[in-house]
Amino acid sequence: MVSIKPLRSGPPGTPMAVSLRSTRELATGNWRTFRPERVERPSPCNLDCPAGTDVRAFLQFAAEGDVARAWHTIRRHNPFPDICGRVCYHPCELACNRTALDEAVNIHAIERAIASEASRRRIGPEPIAAPALSPRVGIVGAGPAGLSCAYHLARRGYPVTVFDDNVEPGGMLRYGIPRYRLPRRTLDREIAMLSRMGITFISGAHVGATSGAPDLSSYAALFLAIGAQRSKRSRVPGDSLRGVRSGLDLLREVNSGGSAPVFGRTIVIGGGNTAIDAARVALRLGADVTVAYRRSTADMPAHPDEVAQAREEGIDFVQYVAPMKFVGSGGRLTGIECQRMRPGEPDASGRPRPEPIPGSTFTITADQALTAIGEEVDVETLHRFALSNGGRLRADRWGRTSRAGIFAGGDAATGAGTVAEAIGSGRRAADAIDAHLQGRDLVEEGTAERVGRPDLNLFYFAPHPRAIPRSEPDPRTFDEVVAGLGWPQAVAEAQRCFTCGACTACDNCYVFCPDAAIVPNRATLAYEIDLTHCKGCGICATECPRGAIILRPEEQR
Partner 1 sequence: MTTKVLEGTHAISWAVQRSRAAVIAAYPITPSSGVVELLAEMCADGRLDARFVAVESEHSALATCAGASQTGMRAFTATSSHGLLYMHEMLHWCVGARLPIVLANVNRAVGSPWNIFADQNDSLSQRDTGWLQYYCEDNQEVLDTIIQAYKVAERVLLPAMVCLDAFFLSHTSEPVSIPEPHEVDAYLPPFAPDYFLSPDEPHAFGGLSAADGYMELRARIDAAMRHAEQVAEEADEEFGRLFGRRHPLVEAYKTDDADIVLVASGTVAGTAREVIDARRARGERVGLVKIHLFRPFPFTPIRRAVSGAKKIAIIDRNISFGHGGIMASELRSAMCAHPLAPPIFSFIAGLGGRDITPQTIDDVVAHTIQQEQPEADTLWVGLKE
Task: Give the integer Cα–Cα distance in Å for 42 and 64.
Answer: 21
Q: 26 or 505: whose CB is closer to partner 1?
A: 26
Report the residue number, 76 or 535, with the smaller CB distance to partner 1.
Answer: 535
Among 174, 313, 380, CA closest to 257: 174
* Smallest distance from partner 1 to CB 175, Å: 58
Q: Output 10 or 439, the one with its CB closest to partner 1.
A: 10
Q: Which is nearer to partner 1, 327 or 458 (CB)?
A: 458
- Rounded Cα distance between 217 and 306, Å, is 43
Q: Where are the beta strands (DSSP E) in 66-220?
A: 137-140, 160-163, 200-202
Residues forming contacts to partner 1 in the complex (CB under 8 A) are 7-11, 13-24, 26, 510, 515-516
- Residue 396 CA to residue 436 CA, distance in Å, equals 14
Rg (CA), the chain: 29
CA 251, CA 172: separation in Å to the nearest integer? Answer: 10
Beta bridge partners of 406: 222
Q: Which is nearer to partner 1, 20 or 443 (CB)?
A: 20
Shortest spacing between CB 102 and partner 1, in angstroms: 21
**Whole-angstrom Cα distance, residue 434 to residue 438?**
6
Give 289's strand partners: 266
The least CB distance from residue 510 to partner 1, in Å, is: 8
CA 189 to chain CA centroid, nearest Å: 20
CB of 533 to partner 1, least distance (A): 9
Q: How far is the CB of 15 from partner 1 (least distance, A)?
A: 4
DSSP state of 328: E
Minimum distance, C-beta of residue 515 to partner 1, in the bound complex (Å): 8
Closest CA to 290 of 264, 268, 321, 310: 268
Cα–Cα dist 214/204, whole Å: 10
**What letter would DSSP give residue 400?**
B
> Shortest gap between Cβ of 530 and partner 1 (angstroms)?
11
Q: Phi-psi bin for 488: left (phi > 0), alpha (psi -120 to 50), beta?
A: alpha
Looking at the Cβ atoms of 312 and 507, the one nearer to partner 1 is: 507
Q: Minimum Å distance from CB 302 to partner 1?
A: 47
Q: How far is the CB of 20 from partner 1 (least distance, A)?
A: 7
DSSP helix/strand/coil, 138: strand
Contact 287, 264 (CB under 8 A): yes
Nearest distance from C-beta of residue 12 to partner 1, angstroms: 8
Q: Which residues contact 513 (CB under 8 A, 6 or more apart)?
A: 534, 539, 540
| Nearer of residues 285 and 544 to partner 1, judged by Cβ | 544
- Beta carbon nearer to partner 1, 26 or 458: 26
Cβ proximity to partner 1, 25 vs 441, nearer residue: 25
| Dihedral angle, C-alpha 383, 384, 386, 390, nearest 10 ° | -30
* Residue 524 Cβ vs partner 1, minimum distance, rounded to whole Å: 19
Q: Both ends of the chain: CA-CA distance in Å?
A: 50
**How buried is 263 (Cβ within 10 angstroms: 0-12 exposed, 13-18 middle, 19+ buried)?**
middle
For partner 1, the closer of residues 26 and 416 by Cβ is 26
Cβ closest to partner 1, residue 17 vs residue 404: 17
Sequence-ordered list of residues with C-beta below 8 angstroms from that of 92, at least 6 positions apart, any chain: 44, 45, 46, 48, 49, 53, 55, 107, 108
